[in-house]
Amino acid sequence: MSNSKQVFRSGIYKDYFAQGIKTGNTLHLAGQVGIDTEGNIPESIADQTKLAYDNIQQVLSEFNATMENIVDETIFVTDMSDTMKNVENVFSVRAQAYGAIPEVSQTLVQVVALVSPKLKIEIKCIAHL
Amino acid sequence: MSNSKQVFRSGIYKDYFAQGIKTGNTLHLAGQVGIDTEGNIPESIADQTKLAYDNIQQVLSEFNATMENIVDETIFVTDMSDTMKNVENVFSVRAQAYGAIPEVSQTLVQVVALVSPKLKIEIKCIAHL
Amino acid sequence: MSNSKQVFRSGIYKDYFAQGIKTGNTLHLAGQVGIDTEGNIPESIADQTKLAYDNIQQVLSEFNATMENIVDETIFVTDMSDTMKNVENVFSVRAQAYGAIPEVSQTLVQVVALVSPKLKIEIKCIAHL
């Protein structure tokens, strides 16, 4: 029997999975994407990255956590060459989200597709609280 | 020197990796797929999903754990559009495995291929005991 | 506010992410690839695998850890059929890195691409110290 789970649900998937779940000192976040609260998906990967980090910060705030708590990122993109062409913008948006040099390990891979065809980036984070 | 690892090995890969490994309160499971004990792989993604969760439950049971202990799922599929076409069946099978609204974060991406060309879904879980 | 993070940075990405980060008893490693210290990438997947494990061992050593501490591996390859054709060499290199039957869970998927087009394998590890 599991216990002491702290769960945050939100949005259209709330009956299927949690956006964040804390057990012990570890917070697992669902992969976050560049969709705003009205369901809009901007075209550029930098704008999607900005929204994805906004969504990550919203989940963190539900657990009284901040970007400083993130320890690991797995980043799934759908076009590595487009990602690299825009890497300065993408990493600039990320640097602003972190507000400092990120103390986080990272893995970046190109997959075939994310849940919606318009999505170009999904960021899966683990945080330590 | 690592210590206090509790390891469960099984099947044809048992000399290469563990199906489950517990350290502290965390159980890492190897990615589970839709192969039955005789090596058969059903065609539909829903049937493969059912078998994958059966295999997850078998690993959990070796650690006296249940689906309630799962905190994070990364789901790799080989055809997102086929997954979405069958999403009601896939999530119905998953709901039955969990037996309740899953308290788990989730990330779903489409990869190019899994270990066998017939496989359509692989589910990688982390559990908290 | 996060605390007690122990961080190891190295190489050209050191301003963007850490190669290893320890919180509590958990060490997250950035995905490691087959690049040597001069930036060379060998052609064969077995040689890249050897280098990736060399890089993993270097990160572990910064935390006074060894391969025995690894509990989970996610392996991203860019060509599953080439991986399987060379699986004996790849797993032989891995067995030498571990020095014993690995006590580690594993997930292996084929993605579209890694950060550099020459890369054939990336290994993301979690260790317990």
Chain segment C111-129, per-residue pLDDT in tens: 999 999 999 999 999 999 9
Quick count: other Cβ atoms within 10 Å of Cβ C118? 15
For residue A63, is pLDDT > 70? Answer: yes
Q: Which of C25, C109, C129 sits opposite B111 (nearest CB)?
A: C109
Write the pLDDT tens digit of every residue in A76-92.
999 999 999 999 999 99
Chains that touch B (3 or more CB pairs under 8 A): A, C
> What residue in B sits closest to C125 (Cα-Cα)?
B28
- Find out whether C124 and C36 touch, Cβ atoms under 8 Å: no
> What residue in C sits closest to B77 (Cα-Cα)?
C109
Mean pLDDT of all residues in C77-97: 97
Residue A20 pLDDT class (50, 70, 90 cuts): very high
Closest listed residue to residue C125, CA positions, set C97, C85, C84: C97
For residue C1, is pLDDT > 80? Answer: no
What residues in B contact A16, CB-CB < 8 Å?
Answer: 91, 101-102, 106
Mean pLDDT of all residues in B59-78: 98
Q: What percentage of chain C has pLDDT greater than the value 70?
A: 98
> What residue in B sits closest to C60 (Cα-Cα)?
B1
The minimum CA-CA distance between B59 and chain A, rounded to whole Å, is 15
Mean pLDDT of all residues in B16-30: 97
What residues in C contact A111, CB-CB < 8 Å?
Answer: 111-112
Rounded to whole angstroms, how far apart are CA atoms A43 and A62? 28
Alpha carbon separation from C16 to A28, A56, A97 (Å, rounded): 21, 18, 12
Rounded to whole angstroms, how far apart are CA atoms C38 and A16? 47
pLDDT of residue C42: 98
Q: Do C106 and B30 touch (CB under 8 A)?
A: yes
Mean pLDDT of all residues in C90-108: 96
Kind of pairing between the strands at C105-110 and C70-77: parallel
pLDDT of residue A3: 57
User: To the nearest whole number, what is the mean pLDDT of chain C?
Assistant: 95
pLDDT of residue A1: 40
B1 vs C16: which has the higher pLDDT:
C16
DSSP-assigned letters across all residues of chain A: -----EEE--STTTTT-BSEEEETTEEEE--EES--TTS---SSHHHHHHHHHHHHHHHHHHTT--GGGEEEEEEEES-HHHHHHTHHHHHHHHHHHHSSS---EEEEEE-SB-SSTT--EEEEEEEE-
Residue A2 pLDDT class (50, 70, 90 cuts): very low
Write the pLDDT tens digit of every residue in C23-73.
999 999 999 999 998 999 999 999 999 999 999 999 999 999 999 999 999
Mean pLDDT of all residues in B61-90: 97
Q: Do C103 and B7 touch (CB under 8 A)?
A: yes
Three-state secondary-structure class, residue B112: coil
What residues in A contact B74, CB-CB < 8 Å?
Answer: 124
Instruction: Using an 8 Å CB-CB cutoff, list residues of chain A that contact chain B.
Output: 1-2, 5, 7, 13, 15-21, 23-24, 26, 28-31, 74, 76, 111-115, 122, 124
Three-state secondary-structure class, residue B87: helix
For residue C2, is pLDDT > 90? Answer: no
> What residue in A sits closest to C120 (Cα-Cα)?
A109
Rounded to whole angstroms, how far apart are CA atoms C71 and C7? 19
Kind of pairing between the strands at B26-29 and B20-23: antiparallel
> What residue in C sits closest to A102 (Cα-Cα)?
C17
> What residue in B sits closest to A2 (Cα-Cα)?
B69
User: To the nearest whole number, what is the mean pLDDT of chain B?
Assistant: 95
Mean pLDDT of all residues in B53-73: 98
The minimum CA-CA distance between C99 and chain A, rounded to whole Å, is 26
Q: Which of A18, A24, A114 sits opposite B103 (nearest CB)?
A: A18
The minimum CA-CA distance between B38 and chain A, rounded to whole Å, is 31
pLDDT of residue B3: 57
Rounded to whole angstroms, how far apart are CA atoms B73 and C60? 26
Q: Do A73 and C17 touch (CB under 8 A)?
A: yes
Query: Taken in order B70, B72, B77, B83, is the CA torsion positive or negative?
Result: positive
What residues in A contact C21, CB-CB < 8 Å?
Answer: 71-72, 103-105
Mean pLDDT of all residues in B56-60: 98
Query: Taken in order C118, C120, C123, C124, is the CA torsion positive or negative?
Result: positive
pLDDT of residue C100: 85
Q: What percentage of chain A has pLDDT greater than the value 90?
A: 91
What residues in A contact C115, CB-CB < 8 Å?
Answer: 80, 84, 108
Residue ranges and CATH numbers for the domains of chain B are 6-128 (3.30.1330.40)
